[in-house]
Amino acid sequence: MSTVFVTTAYGGPENQQLSTREAPAPRPGEIAIEVRVAGVNPADAKRREGLFGTTGSLPLALGLEAAGVVTALGEGVSGFEIGDDVLGAPARGLGAFAEHTVLKASAAVHRPPEVACEQAATLPVAGTTAWDLAASAAPGETVLVLGAGGGVGRMAVQVAVAAGARVLGVSSRAKQELVESAGAEHVLSGDGAADAVRDLAADGVDLLIDLVGGQPLRDLAPLTKDSARILSAADQATAEELGGGGRPSSEDALAQITRLVADGAVDPHVTARYPLVAAAEAMAAVETGHSAGKIVLIP
């Protein structure tokens, strides 16, 4: 039997618990893995609460991104072999907070030796989000990242910096050093943020990447030269109202962000590690919204 962290009902953390199951077998087009590290994200709590829908069968395995070692290949899979180091998102809702899970082969990539397993586990969700939001940044452009001190925001800063853009990163004072270490010029969040950005970029910004939403997004959106380049992973409705949109999607996002990590251009900045038996504590830490970096689980 294999250990897995589940929720027995949609709702709060009181429904979370460790459980056991047979190690999932891969179907055609899938690869089974032994999970080495799983990334923890705010989306995990949203999924538990039913914000992504409540039609999934219960108990629901949690966790949306994993890195591990291939243990079995489904029918028709090519390009992978048993023993390969890989990363990806679990297939069929089987969860990453587990000793074993299954990935869709077409959505998984090999883990380069330059990428630590802990780093790799943060890329299928957080890393691809950062890539999709920042991939359009171009050399010489000015990019504004709202929520630059979070796990996704800091990687988005680094993606834009790697593209040759100037980056302004909005965060709290407590995360200033973290934002600046990623290559951004720090802007203090709050009522004075818009004025501070105007002082730094009198002509406006070329791309606004939002990971906060709400009033802060409304305050900063007018500084974007072209409203179509307002991109929000936190508040798509407001971004669309302002002339922008939500997170774009690219099929090669996982391969691209993995390459940048391998090249040393992006550091996911893992700051906390929990054993699988402490998955509830890891979830609680992410739900505070104050994590300065990425949190991972190690089965």
How high is the pLDDT of residue 56? 84
**Is the pLDDT reported for residue 290 higher than 70?**
no
Over the stretch 98-150, which tens digit does the pLDDT of each residue have?
999 999 999 999 999 999 999 999 999 999 999 999 999 999 999 999 999 99
- Where does residue 25 fall: left (phi above 0), alpha (psi -120 to 50 degrees), or beta otherwise? beta
- Residue range 202-259, pLDDT digits in tens: 999 999 999 999 999 999 999 999 999 999 999 999 999 999 999 999 999 999 999 9
pLDDT above 80 for 289? no
Q: What 3-state DSSP class applies to 66?
A: strand
| Whether the Cβ atoms of residue 145 and residue 171 lie closer than 8 Å to each other | no
User: What whole-number distance in Å separates Cα of residue 232 and Cα of residue 216?
Assistant: 12
* Mean pLDDT across 153-165: 98
> What is each CA distance from 172 to 148, 155, 177, 234, 288, in whole angstroms?
9, 17, 10, 17, 15
**For range 48-66, the mean pLDDT:** 94
Percent composition of the chain: helix, strand, coil (DSSP 3-state, to 5):
35, 30, 40
The per-residue pLDDT for range 75-101, each reduced to its tens digit, is 999 999 999 999 999 999 999 999 999
Task: Give the dihedral sign, CA 154/42/209/233.
Answer: positive
| pLDDT tens for each residue of 8-25 | 999 999 999 999 999 999
CA separation (Å) from 184 to 80, 165, 173, 205, 239?
Answer: 38, 10, 14, 14, 23
Question: In 3-state terms, what secondary structure has residue 48?
Answer: helix
pLDDT interval class at 288 (50, 70, 90): confident
In this model, does residue 178 exceed pLDDT 70? yes
- pLDDT band of 156, cuts 50, 70, 90: very high
